[in-house]
Chains A and B, each alone.
Chain A
């Protein structure tokens, strides 16, 4: 028995070391840039990092990212001025665009369509409307110089809070434990492809033993849905009150099919503009998203870029 356990353990360790080497050599796992909270309490990436974003097993999607001086994934530095024309894209991972080469981003596609315009992409995975408006408010001097601001918006995710505060859960990913774990590329790969999910589920089930399970998914009633929508609408009003909103320059980028009518009506009545992505994306005959996640693929990004350009031209 002793010999069995010793030899099996030795083999397992050696195989894992070999696999770690293979994962590194073939770059199967994604690189995780470091994040931090800046002096304005804005969460962003540590400036001047680069690496590769990898999605799916067998490196199905592989792209380089570059974090600029401002802490966002972009090929250009953000230097707004009165003399130039700039567009800012503010949003979550869809704007951040780790799943594309940073020279092939939505911003770059817009620049290719609008001569002389610089596009600044303030994208960061997990940013909700509170993050976005707080960023604009915190960097007011910069944003006041930007001519047009597009805010990526998802009703379901972006209005869960009525005021900005640092998301501590996300910052825990920067703890020494997580940082060290991320250095093990095999672990990062295993986590990305979901092979660790069953292990995690078993652990959580063991931890839940004896406790009352809340696993049964409750279907929300119409009343509950309406109440939630009203609550989100109140949060929206609160965020606008606290951080301000320039109706002349700011425009939302949203999917009307995933946004409740009550909210769209409010935007219309309040004179708040939005670009609707639904019709153009849904009528596309070729897929607009990646294989493994719902982020826009190159074709999807082209459509979004065209919509933003169209909207910008209308403004003029």
Chain B
């Protein structure tokens, strides 16, 4: 049951009405209901995966209590490692087992030994496993670092782990934010629900109009890159930048909006990353829940930037490599992570990694300055270039793709694989960028207009956009579900 399916909206409507009518009386009742509907939502993919989520919930619930109840540091550490081993083990088995086997066999074959692979398994990757294992691990970490007291309420903890709006692709929540809301009774708020509906509408627009509409073009260019000129490859990876942003930020907006319908505020996951002035700012705006997770639980424990410059650089390389590897068991993601580390380190060494933390491009101005425009273009180009690794099927494909761009630049008009007018997409992207610039100060209020008439016109245009760019023939799944 994906967010852009009719089944989900029927499900959401029923659950919303029941939640605020029959199950609103007591926090326990609300949480029982949330757990049941979240399990139904998750079981819709494959009911067998429910056992994993139940196991993960139970293990982290008890390890949390055990960490807290022990005063001896070594014991606390031991229980923390139980949680980490369990979650990383779960992830490692389902996501990385075959990758390690294949890589090992490749390495052995390089040494001249040919071993026939009989160890690789036919494993289905349980949807959302990368997200909820990280979420439950953060709970154990927070207790270990004395930032959080464990809950004794198993039901609330189960609701925290399985809360359906953010279960399968984030935002990866921290217990200090989500669990604290779950243990308290939620009260219906008209403004909050309306805010949620607006975010859902905007998320659907980004998914259907931006991501899904660009998908056939990107798929075509990456699948047939060797037969296209460099200009088309540049177009393909640029459009992929918009596609992946529309896809994932659209998903996050729907998730945050859906949570709001149930009286819960999730953290923002995307803060207009296309308006970043350097790579460091980009990482403060793109997939924020994952980057903060790595910062809090990997980078800072390693010493962060409080150690020597050399060690800080080492830490940066580690978190980007781990982040790349988190995305998937493929060398392309590791190269993608390494590339980002290389792009981030100069910014860090120049001391410019936090300079844009508390302001946005064109702050207090209608338009960005020329310098800012230059910074935006440069950052966008670096990020877009890195996406060649992210999108390519293999590392060989990625380098071949880059080679065509760098060695033999030629231009040819590109035609849509299904025959649509390409100009429609260029106009669409231009309008989308302009609109996002207009709303860049608040990612949670995409329709913030004082005039009701203007707001209504924007709603109409958004729905019209969905009607104009909807295509029944394309795959509508979310890119980040594979992670």
A interface list, Cβ under 8 A from B: 1, 3-4, 7-8, 11, 14-15, 18-19, 22, 57-58, 60, 189-190, 193-195, 197-199, 201-202, 287, 291
Contact = CB atoms under 8 A, between A and B. Distances in A.
Given A15-B460, A19-B460, A19-B463, A60 B419 contact: yes
A260 B336 CA distance: 53
Given A11-B456, A57-B470, A3 B7 contact: no
A49 to B, nearest CB: 27
A254 B212 CA distance: 37
B467 A195 contact: yes
Contacts of A199: 6
A8 B463 contact: no
B469 interface: yes
Nearest to A287: B419
A197 B5 CA distance: 11
Given A3-B190, A4-B194, A197 B472 contact: yes
8 contacts: A14-B456, A15-B459, A19-B467, A22-B464, A58-B468, A189-B467, A198-B5, A201-B6
Interface string B302-322: 000000000000000000000
Interface in B18-57: 20-21
Interface of B: 5-7, 10, 20-21, 188, 190, 193-194, 197, 418-421, 424, 456, 459-460, 463-464, 467-473
Nearest to A23: B467
A58 B424 contact: yes
A291 B467 contact: no
Contacts of A193: 467, 470-472
B412 to A, nearest CB: 17
A60 B418 CA distance: 11
A18 B470 contact: no
Nearest to A203: B6
A79 B414 CA distance: 48
The 10 A-B pairs at the shortest CB distance, nearest first, are namely: A194-B472, A291-B419, A198-B6, A18-B460, A195-B470, A58-B468, A15-B460, A202-B6, A199-B6, A57-B468
B213 to A, nearest CB: 10
B10 A202 contact: yes
A195 B21 CA distance: 31
B456 A4 contact: no
Contacts of B418: 291
Contact of A1 (B6, B188, B473): B188
B420 A11 contact: no
Contact of A57 (B6, B419, B467): B467
Nearest to A22: B464
A198 B472 CA distance: 9
A11 B473 CA distance: 30
A55 to B, nearest CB: 11
Nearest to A205: B7
A190 B467 contact: yes
Contacts of B460: 15, 18-19, 22
A201 B419 CA distance: 27
Nearest to A190: B467
Contacts of A22: 460, 464
A109 B447 CA distance: 53
A19 B464 contact: yes
Contacts of A19: 460, 463-464, 467
A298 to B, nearest CB: 13
B469 A57 contact: yes
Contacts of A60: 419-421
A58 B20 contact: no
A253 to B, nearest CB: 25
Contacts of B473: 194
A99 to B, nearest CB: 14
Given A15-B463, A57-B471, 12 more contacts: A11-B456, A15-B460, A18-B460, A19-B467, A57-B470, A58-B420, A58-B424, A60-B421, A195-B467, A197-B472, A198-B6, A287-B419
